């Protein structure tokens, strides 16, 4: 998907026809000549503005940032609220992620955050509507968290009843009973997500959105998304994408299907909520989706924040030990809540920076000499950009690479940022072969030194991702580097 300015579309498609009409009128009918131009502008431009969508594109050499939510409890919302507050950047938490996945009541939170672009405070204020969707029986608590319960079907109703008195002040008028009619549930969902908007129409500011459910006909896992992809995935799940756009499911339909309990309610349009064993399938499914969308070749994301009710993590397919704790922030283990929050903050802040080569590496006596620049995902027009630059300058944050260290922001970069120039920190790195990895770390704004986005980065892969090996130019026909 692309977005174009209305003026650009007008000039490319209609300007010639418009000029031909004017040529026939001028100078014979000056009044009509003047009138027709005003009429075209009044009709065309407001119409185009209605359909214009603008969103951020992920840089070619930047990694991915994943958020998965399962459970949809107040604790989930409070965890995100705490992260947003501690980041101390004037930007919503949703803009820190490239893909968001959700199951069960967590699907509603994902839709609210990324589709409706609600703030975390909005999610808290509207949590009453979310509560009406749970119709399950009681189950005992879990040993992983004081306010969490087991993964059995009745977890949410039991949790909501326990949290009722504690959060009465924050969420007034929470209903004492979660048993509501199907018509009430549908009415609540329509009021939240609208009556006629589909998920595929939701740009999410460039964020990919995937909601899981189960096909009632064969109990297989499926996902609804705002992007295209292969119909079948290796995790045994399928992507629901009708051949005709008119058959696309509405957002409120997806929310209803993702939360429909087959034990107490009829399947909705042939779908009901998905029960993952230990919820680890949601992690693996999200990893496969990000790998498929961005052709990651099984490279892990920069940061993966997983928020749900406290459950065991047994059975998770762990990657190599040296990489495991580097990217997965599992909020299920509440006993390590402070460490997990710090880990998430460090991952989100460090992933704001990524590396690009300036031209092809040069062969020297040692191996290869690389000129590179460290870039920032935030553009100067964003209020968070200058806030981040100020923090880098104030804390004396530094980049570490190739046994060298440089300040993230010097006086020149600081003044350029104030003038609206995009962040670019020039560095030089030497490696012995194209198979060597380049690793750039940042500290000062993080609790510990953390690798920036997509690092460690194999040099040959970095060259290919930038398209520097394309003899006839990059696929977007633009130069991907600057000469110095």
Can you tell me the distance from the alpha carbon of 144 to that of 312, in angstroms, rounded to the nearest whole number? 8
Q: Please report, for residues 66, 386, 448, the alpha-carbon distance to residue 376 in angstroms, rounded to integers and kept in the order given.
A: 18, 11, 19
pTM over 0.85: no
Q: How far is CA 419 from the centre of its chain?
A: 29
- The pLDDT of residue 390 is 96
- The DSSP code for 96 is G
Strands 221-225 and 238-239: parallel
In this structure, the number of other CB atoms found within 10 A of the CB of residue 359 comes to 16
- The pLDDT of residue 207 is 93
Cβ proximity of 150 and 140 under 8 Å? yes
Can you tell me the distance from the alpha carbon of 376 to that of 484, in angstroms, rounded to the nearest whole number? 19
Query: Which residue stretches of the chain have pLDDT < 50?
Result: 1-4, 49-51, 129, 132-180, 278, 310-324, 480-484
């Amino acid at each position: 998907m692309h977005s174009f300015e209305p003026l650009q579309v007008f000039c490319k498609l209609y300007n010639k026809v418009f000029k031909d009409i004017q040529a026939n009128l001028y100078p014979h009918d000056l009044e009509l000549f003047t009138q027709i131009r005003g009429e075209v502008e009044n009709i065309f431009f407001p119409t185009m503005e209605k359909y214009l969508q603008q969103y951020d594109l992920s840089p070619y050499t930047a990694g991915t940032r994943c958020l998965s939510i399962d459970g949809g409890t107040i604790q989930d919302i409070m965890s995100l609220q705490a992260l947003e507050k501690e980041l101390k950047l004037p930007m919503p938490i949703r803009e820190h992620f490239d893909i968001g996945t959700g199951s069960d009541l967590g699907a509603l939170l994902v839709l609210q955050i990324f589709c409706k672009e609600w703030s975390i405070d909005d999610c808290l204020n509207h949590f009453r509507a979310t509560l009406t969707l749970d119709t399950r029986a009681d189950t005992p608590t879990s040993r992983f968290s004081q306010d969490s319960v087991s993964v059995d079907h009745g977890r949410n109703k039991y949790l909501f009843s326990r949290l009722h008195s504690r959060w009465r002040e924050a969420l007034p008028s929470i209903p004492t009973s979660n048993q509501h009619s199907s018509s009430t549930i549908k009415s609540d969902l329509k009021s939240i997500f609208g009556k006629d908007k589909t998920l595929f129409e939701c740009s999410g500011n460039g964020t990919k959105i995937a909601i899981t459910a189960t096909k009632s006909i064969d109990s297989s896992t499926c996902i609804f998304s705002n992007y295209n992809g292969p119909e079948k995935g290796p995790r045994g799940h399928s992507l629901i994408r009708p051949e005709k756009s008119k058959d696309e499911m509405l957002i409120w339909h997806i929310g209803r299907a993702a939360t429909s309990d087959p034990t107490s309610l009829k399947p909705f349009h042939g779908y009901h909520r998905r029960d993952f064993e230990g919820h680890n399938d949601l992690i693996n499914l999200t990893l496969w989706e990000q790998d498929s969308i961005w052709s990651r070749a099984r490279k892990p994301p920069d940061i993966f924040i997983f928020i749900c009710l406290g459950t065991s993590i047994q059975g998770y397919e762990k990657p190599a030990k040296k990489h495991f704790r580097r990217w997965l922030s599992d909020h299920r283990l509440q006993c390590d809540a402070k460490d997990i929050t710090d880990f998430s903050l460090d991952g989100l802040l460090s992933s704001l920076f990524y590396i690009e080569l300036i031209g092809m590496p040069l062969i020297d006596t040692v191996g290869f000499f690389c000129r590179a620049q460290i870039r920032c995902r935030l553009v100067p027009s964003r209020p968070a950009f200058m806030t981040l630059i100020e923090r880098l300058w104030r804390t004396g944050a530094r980049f570490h690479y190739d046994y060298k260290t440089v300040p993230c922001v010097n006086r020149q970069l600081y003044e350029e940022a104030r003038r609206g120039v995009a962040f670019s920190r020039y560095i030089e790195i030497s490696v012995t072969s194209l198979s060597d990895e380049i690793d750039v770390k940042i500290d000062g704004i993080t609790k510990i030194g953390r690798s920036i986005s997509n690092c460690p980065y194999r040099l040959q892969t970095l060259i290919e991702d930038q398209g520097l090996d394309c003899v006839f130019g990059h696929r977007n026909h633009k130069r991907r580097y600057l000469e110095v």
